[in-house]
Amino acid sequence: MFNKKDMFKVLVLVIVFTMALTACGTAASTATQAPAAPAATTAAAAEKPFGEASCAPNCTYKDMVMCFPQLGAESDWRTADTASFKDEAAKDGFQLVFSDAQQKQENQISAVRACIQQGVSVIALPPVVEDGWDAVLTEAHNAGIPVIVVDRTVSADPSLYVSHIGSDMELEGKRAAEEFNKKFPDGAKILELSGTTGSGAAVGRAKGFREALNSNIEIIDSQTGNFTRAEALPVMQAFLQKYKAGTDFQGIFIHNDDMGIGAIEALKAAGVNPGDLFIVSVDGTRGGFQAMVDGWFQADVECNPLLAPQVAEMALTIMNGGTVDANVLTNETVYYPENAAELLPTRTY
Ligand code: AHR
């Protein structure tokens, strides 16, 4: 039988054992519960993709408010792009918050901020230039508003926007270069009339052009005409003061049709027949097609402005919590004078 001393020892052992068990139990529950909170947060985040709207998965275009801070109205291409968004909104029945930044980045940034304040469902941003978007894109991101970068690109971190839909500007530049390579196998001197300085379109086209241009073709000068007819005309006039057409240069790479039309005006006014030079433009607008019919452009690299159907569809997918591609490039081609007259009546912009 146990005496009092033994009973006391057993009691002490039981107490120590119970305390150890309790301690283990606490440790075990702490160990299993501690990570549970972040895991639950991760699961919740995974369930609700960025930009998903409260109407998901049944959002329709009626639920969509799309902010479209258009960069300007500098060209026929831009006019067609604006019409594409307005027409799409009317067709689908979503609300379009439209503004025209007149080619000024600060106006675009203010318009984006107003849209964030308004709490739009999505922002479709056609950035006038590549740099300087980080702050406002971060604001949109923090407000939970998805941004689709449209047409030109931005240099901001891709985590700040959901996707980019637009043309491959580098490829357009490469395609233009191929035309010069074919025309001048023995080399030539050419001029470049470039688009808005710092814009994704101008940067990409210039880069692609230089990468693909044969080394025996020299770009003797390059100036910006800011994608407008009005600004391209005096630039071409200044070129003609410096260089003799046909002697000092044999061709011109022009970053869009509007500048090409301005340049043609300047050439004609200076008594130069534009058809005696090799002119390659970009866009494929009706004006560009007419310039090919008239014999002034020898090729027109397509850049398609009708982006709204893809942008609207992607925006609805994002609102409904679906996944989208990070970069959607438009399928494009090169147009030539041979069939310009036949195609001109079919051109919608
Ligand atoms: O970003 C697309 C370019 O911008 C087009 O080539 C030009 O016409 C427009 O202004």
Ligand 1 centre to CA of 132 (Å) is 19
φ, ψ of residue 166 to 5 degrees: the values are: 175, -165
Residue 22 scores a pLDDT above 60? no
> Are 136 and 150 members of one domain?
yes
How far apart CA 256 and CA 302 sit, in angstroms, is 10
> Are 234 and 322 members of one domain?
no
Cβ atoms 132, 156 nearer than 8 A? no
> Are 92 and 113 members of one domain?
yes
Before 185, cis peptide (omega within 30)? no
> Are 293 and 325 members of one domain?
no
What was the pLDDT predicted at 47? 63
φ, ψ of residue 119 to 5 degrees: the values are: 75, 45
The finding on whether 77 has its CB within 6 A of some atom of ligand 1 is: yes
> Are 244 and 288 members of one domain?
yes
Question: What atom of ligand 1 comes closest to residue 227's alpha carbon?
Answer: 10
Give the predicted TM-score (pTM) of the model. Answer: 0.86
**Has residue 43 been placed in a domain?**
no
Total domains, the chain = 2
Lowest mean pLDDT among 47-51, 73-77, 83-87, 288-292: 47-51
The finding on whether 168 has its CB within 6 A of some atom of ligand 1 is: no
Cβ atoms 282, 303 nearer than 8 A? yes
In 3D space, the residue among 230, 234, 237 whose CA is nearest the CA of residue 258 turns out to be 230
Residue 274 scores a pLDDT above 80? yes
Ligand 1 centre to CA of 256 (Å) is 6
**Has residue 339 been placed in a domain?**
no
Q: How far is CA 215 from the centre of its chain?
A: 30
> Are 131 and 177 members of one domain?
no
Which CATH number fits the domain that encloses residue 250?
A: 3.40.50.2300
Q: What is the mean pLDDT of the chain?
A: 90
**Has residue 287 been placed in a domain?**
yes
Tokens for 277, please give them.
């030079």
**Has residue 24 been placed in a domain?**
no
> Are 313 and 261 members of one domain?
no
**Has residue 48 been placed in a domain?**
no
117-129: pLDDT as tens digits: 999 999 999 999 9
Q: In percent, how much of the chain has pLDDT > 70?
A: 87
Ligand 1 centre to CA of 88 (Å) is 20
**Has residue 338 been placed in a domain?**
no
**Has residue 35 been placed in a domain?**
no
Residue 275 scores a pLDDT above 80? yes
**Has residue 42 been placed in a domain?**
no
Candidate of 229, 256, 285 to mutate for ligand 1, largest count of ligand atoms within 8 Å of Cβ:
256
92 lies in which domain range? Answer: 61-166+306-331
How far apart CA 236 and CA 216 sit, in angstroms, is 23
Residue identifier of the C-alpha nearest atom 6 of ligand 1: 256
Tokens for 271, please give them.
């008594």
63-118: pLDDT as tens digits: 999 999 999 999 999 999 999 999 999 999 999 999 999 999 999 999 999 999 99
Residue 230 scores a pLDDT above 80? yes
Ligand 1 centre to CA of 229 (Å) is 12
Lowest mean pLDDT among 28-42, 87-101, 175-189, 221-235: 28-42
Cβ atoms 166, 201 nearer than 8 A? no
The finding on whether 81 has its CB within 6 A of some atom of ligand 1 is: no
Q: What is the mean pLDDT of residues 162-180?
A: 98
Cβ atoms 195, 255 nearer than 8 A? yes
The finding on whether 201 has its CB within 6 A of some atom of ligand 1 is: yes
Residue 330 scores a pLDDT above 70? yes
Question: What atom of ligand 1 comes closest to residue 257's alpha carbon?
Answer: 8
> Are 314 and 289 members of one domain?
no
CB atoms within 10 A of CB 242: 11
The confidence band for 48, taking pLDDT boundaries of 50, 70 and 90, is confident
Candidate of 77, 169, 171, 199 to mutate for ligand 1, largest count of ligand atoms within 8 Å of Cβ:
77
How far apart CA 113 and CA 116 sit, in angstroms, is 5
> Are 319 and 236 members of one domain?
no
What was the pLDDT predicted at 36? 31
In 3D space, the residue among 330, 312, 310 whose CA is nearest the CA of residue 320 turns out to be 312
Cβ atoms 236, 266 nearer than 8 A? yes
> Are 162 and 66 members of one domain?
yes
The finding on whether 229 has its CB within 6 A of some atom of ligand 1 is: no
Q: In percent, how much of the chain has pLDDT > 90?
A: 86
Q: First-to-last CA distance in the chain?
A: 107
The finding on whether 52 has its CB within 6 A of some atom of ligand 1 is: no
What was the pLDDT predicted at 46? 54
What was the pLDDT predicted at 24? 32
292 half-sphere exposure, CB direction, 13 A CA radius: 25
What was the pLDDT predicted at 16? 39
> Are 130 and 104 members of one domain?
yes
> Are 111 and 156 members of one domain?
yes
